[in-house]
Structure 1
């Protein structure tokens, strides 16, 4: 029995050991199979870092130019076309387009002036002018303040005298320290009679309270209605340099005196007429005012008919612009020079900062200059634009005020 028991115990132990070894081998094989199933699919899937597609990269020797990412705002230039409603009184447009691009390139050297832009010859088709109008932003020509004169007239038939009582004057815009007076002139046929008030220091409002007396060829019954004559009243200014200038004048007929007797008269004094002199040529300008930006745009376009003895030796023309407030110079600019052309074309815009409240008392003066020799500029002619000017200068300025944000073009005669 002992031998049988020992043999059975031995066989049982051996079989248990073999069973344990087999189970351990089976477990290891199962684990390997599971790991193989987990790792193989990962190796088969494409990774983010390792792409399956191959890119072909070509090497270039040319330098890479950076692309502009900023978009600048669109700038609307004045249209130099005659049918466009943006340009008024534009004449001889074809002469500006005759200049070739090659000729313009030869003259494309600026004179160092700031804020000067060269305009294109033809405007693009997609340019659309601003149609919306802003009211109450800018001073229009209806609110322009002219000097006003307050006076009354009385007639003494017994003595044959005409008495003009100068009461006061308003809306006088002059520099501080200036003095002035009122002068009167009665013209009957070829005879003229003059009289004037005392000299007072000028301000926005000046009171005189003086009478101007004029003797008329009247008898006791005759009135001034039968006389063919004219009465003129003028406001004069004297600065500290003893330079006399006329600020405004009003005129009426002697035949109308009977309707003005013993009445308080308020009359706007009109700016003096420009002296009639021989013109030294013409200059084509375009004006526009932007009320929102308080900017005055002046486009110096071209000139014609520049007849002067100063152009015989050398022709090197430019235009000098001066912005004035009353008698004070605020800004100066100058266009580029155009050589060897008696009818030069500039087409340059100059932007000037000018608040709307300063427009009634501001003006611009343009002068055509010729560089006869290095460092020697000879003036050929000038023109002035503003409220207190006359002729085309006053007409152009009024049209600019009545049409904000629009280009208004007009020819101006040049005076030496």
Structure 2
């Protein structure tokens, strides 16, 4: 019993002494830490060593008692007024103007600071000044000239060869051409004398505002025309500018006509003439249009004709029955070589055939051959009524001459073109 009590007393004393030792050590550590902090504050800051937490750069902050004003985000720019430019006393009559400075003009306070000290003097015309009248007249004249319609102009020259009885017309260029992009054109010439007509045309070129040809057209004068004196010549010369769009639709842009008796005054001189627009009567006289495609195969001596379609046929002749076909006749001079006819298309005012006909024709006969096409309507069994016809060949005129000439210049190539039908 005595031993157990001594053991309990020793354990209790050991525990109390350990606790007191820990408390003393903690108090000692706190005192040491506090002394170090006090010594650090009393030390000179300039002698302190540089570290990550202490930088060598010292900032000086000045205190101000003035209130801080916020800066405005919007600033009004300085306004500059134009000065009147005067080259001579006659331009501006200063006696009729009132001189005003910027001091007399009311300006906002925000702008006065920017323009202060920069006074500009400018003149303001009076209300009763009449200086605007010449400008108005000039503007009206300018508008009138710009709104005027410009007709195409043709530049050509003439030369008469009395020994060979030939007329040489050189087509130089054309100007003021207004057509759609992609259109092509050419100039055709026709000499009419002693009830005979001679036709010729230039090559086809792409049309623009100005087109140059520099090509000569040679016309053989008829036998009944005298070349000793130009005053005795009877007849006329017609030069026509044509256009052809991408759908092979031909149109006339303008024509110029002059008499053969005037060749003496126009010979050996460059002439600029305004082409007259075509008359509306020429368009209304057509009975419709026929679309054809031509091609010539020199190796096989064959002429291919494709009758494609027709449009704009006269409807007054198609009231009872519509049964349309196309009759084709190949001629050599006045001799008929071959006849063919397409199938009939019923109940369609704009028929489509798309039929190809092959005709045997030697190449040496092409220049003197022609094609005669006629649109027919079968009103009743056994009764054919002609609606219109067109002629193709070197002896034809207009689109018939152009189409035949393009076929000769481009062998083995299909060339399509619209042709007007005439009754």
In which range does the TM-score fall when normalised by the shorter chain? 0.3 to 0.5
TM-score, length of structure 2 as denominator length = 0.38
TM-score, length of structure 1 as denominator length = 0.39
Which structure has the bigger radius of gyration?
A: 2
Q: Which has the higher contact order (CA 8 A, sep 6+)?
A: 1
